[in-house]
Amino acid sequence: MKTRHVCVVGAGVVGLSSAVCIQEQLPDVHVTLVADKFSPHTTSDGSGGFWCPHDLGNTPEALIRKWGKETLDYILSLIKSSDAAVVQAQMLSGYMMSSSVQEEPDYKDLCFGYRLMTSEELKDFPNMKWGYFYTTVQIDVKPYMQWLMRRFKERGGRVEVQTVSSIDQLSKHCDVIVNCCGLRGGILGCDKEVYPIRGQVMRVVAPWIKHFYICLDEGSETYFIPGTTNIVIGGTEQVNRWDEEVDENDHQRIWKRAVRCIPSIQHAKIVTRWVGLRPARSTVRLEAERKNNSVWIVHNYGHGGSGVTLHWGCAQHAASLVGDCLRKLESTSRL
Ligand SMILES: Cc1cc2nc3c(=O)[nH]c(=O)nc-3n(C[C@H](O)[C@H](O)[C@H](O)COP(=O)(O)OP(=O)(O)OC[C@H]3O[C@@H](n4cnc5c(N)ncnc54)[C@H](O)[C@@H]3O)c2cc1C
């Protein structure tokens, strides 16, 4: 049988995990990872790494649950494995609160120990009227992506630094192209539905904060996500805003809200400030498409604010689509 070549475009958490899953599901296939930005310079690197499905447009609930549960189980297995210290993943408990009563989340049965907050607990947060407590998982995305890259190279994966401006640029060298280009996924996918949701955050050192806190107050969301070395405090959710510079006004607003929610945070040391653009779309695009009756493309982009939350489930699905495409190519080449 002819050796088959697959090219994954994009080296964020979605592309890297897709490349690793393809190698694991299809061990005879040669996989090349092509991107113009690698860790630590991707959007994925700045993410809070918090498992919580959101900003996914109209992506069907059944798919969010499937991909989300597969990713949750996979991160839990990493936490229990000997690699936990390297990938820096942890179980994390905390509070989601609001100044008004909200609907309970669809994923409450997937997390652990979900319960509504008591009035006694709410007294500690004077602006908050309602909330729930649960345990989820969190992963520090930078060390995790470095670990994924090592895993990819150890299995013989090749890496190329290149900006791909069209499918034709790659179609001569590979049988299947996997489009994991995040916010630029629509360029290779000929799709105008991708748009940014701008997120500005800061990372602080505040080792006394051991829980996550998410506070919804008058339409704005303030969150505290402790990683293994620092805490991400955010943020903004600015739809269709493209600038990636830190905005001083946004910073002051986030800081003011954060101090109002957790007063002790005023003693924290701010170590970095960062802006990233979430790759939003009406739905996550995860499907195979044949171009000009020749090369197959598997699209895997548009994960909005949940790229980490869904990445492993989506990567497994993308790898199985690549397998389907290769089998179709095999059967047509025999005709
Ligand atoms: C402030 C903030 C906080 C977040 N927190 C969380 C969180 O706690 N949990 C969570 O689940 N999600 C979170 N997210 C969302 C998450 O970061 C994204 O959904 C995720 O990073 C998308 O990953 P990706 O691999 O698709 O894209 P990216 O990380 O943007 O990677 C895209 C890759 O494609 C490459 N590329 C694109 N076009 C081309 C081209 N033409 N040629 C070559 N290479 C190309 C880039 O170089 C890059 O390597 C957060 C996002 C932000 C902004």
Q: How confident is the model at residue 262 (pLDDT cuts 50, 70, 90)?
A: very high
Ligand 1 atom 12: the closest Cα is on which residue?
306
Domain 1-88+140-194+281-335: homologous superfamily in CATH: NAD(P)-binding Rossmann-like Domain (3.40.50.720)
pLDDT, position 335: 60
Does residue 293 have a pLDDT over 90?
A: no
Does the CB atom of residue 47 touch ligand 1 within 6 A? yes
Q: How confident is the model at residue 331 (pLDDT cuts 50, 70, 90)?
A: confident
Specify the ligand 1 atom closest to the Cα of 199: 1
Ligand 1 atom 39: the closest Cα is on which residue?
181
Verdict on whether the full-model pTM lies above 0.85: yes
Q: Return the percentage of the chain with pLDDT > 70, whole number.
A: 99
Locate the domains of the chain by residue range. Answer: 1-88+140-194+281-335, 91-136+195-279
pLDDT tens sequence across 211-254: 999 999 878 999 999 998 999 999 999 999 999 999 999 999 99
Which residue from 212, 79, 61 is spatially nearest to 135, judged by alpha carbons?
Answer: 212
**Helix axes 141-154 and 13-25, enclosed angle (nearest 10):** 30
Query: What whole-number distance in Å separates Cα of residue 228 and Cα of residue 50?
Result: 12
Does the CB atom of residue 37 touch ligand 1 within 6 A? yes
Ligand 1 atom 38: the closest Cα is on which residue?
181
Does the CB atom of residue 21 touch ligand 1 within 6 A? no
Query: What whole-number distance in Å separates Cα of residue 178 and Cα of residue 322?
Result: 8
Query: What whole-number distance in Å separates Cα of residue 243 and Cα of residue 276?
Result: 9
Does residue 322 have a pLDDT over 80?
A: yes
Cα 260 to ligand 1 centroid, rounded to whole Å: 30
11 and 35 Cβ atoms separated by less than 8 Å = yes
Pocket test for ligand 1, best of 181, 239, 301, 314 (most atoms within 8 A of CB): 181
Q: Which residues of 124-138 are buried (b: 16+ CB within 10 A; e: fewer)?
A: ebeebbbbbbbebbb
> Which whole number is the average pLDDT over 258-281?
96
Ligand 1 atom 22: the closest Cα is on which residue?
307
Looking at per-residue pLDDT, the higher value among 263 and 331 belongs to 263
Cα 44 to ligand 1 centroid, rounded to whole Å: 4
Ligand 1 atom 44: the closest Cα is on which residue?
35
Task: Specify whether the backbone of 320 is left (phi greater than 0), alpha (psi in -120 to 50) or beta.
Answer: alpha
Cα 299 to ligand 1 centroid, rounded to whole Å: 14
> Which whole number is the average pLDDT over 311-328?
97
pLDDT tens sequence across 131-186: 999 999 999 999 999 999 999 999 999 999 999 998 888 888 899 999 999 999 99
Does the CB atom of residue 53 touch ligand 1 within 6 A? no
> Which whole number is the average pLDDT over 38-53?
97
In sequence order, which residues have a C-beta less than 8 Å from that of residue 38 and are 6 or more positions away?
11, 149, 159, 161
How is domain 91-136+195-279 classified at the CATH fold level?
D-Amino Acid Oxidase; Chain A, domain 2 (3.30.9)
Pocket test for ligand 1, best of 303, 310, 314 (most atoms within 8 A of CB): 303
Does the CB atom of residue 13 touch ligand 1 within 6 A? yes
Cα 333 to ligand 1 centroid, rounded to whole Å: 36
Rounded to the nearest 10°, the torsion over CA 43, 95, 58, 77 is 70
pLDDT tens sequence across 139-148: 999 999 999 9
Specify the ligand 1 atom closest to the Cα of 307: 19
pLDDT tens sequence across 55-102: 899 999 999 999 999 999 999 999 999 999 899 999 999 999 999 999
Cα 320 to ligand 1 centroid, rounded to whole Å: 22
Specify the ligand 1 atom closest to the Cα of 11: 49
Does residue 255 have a pLDDT over 70?
A: yes
Does the CB atom of residue 227 touch ligand 1 within 6 A? no
pLDDT, position 333: 72
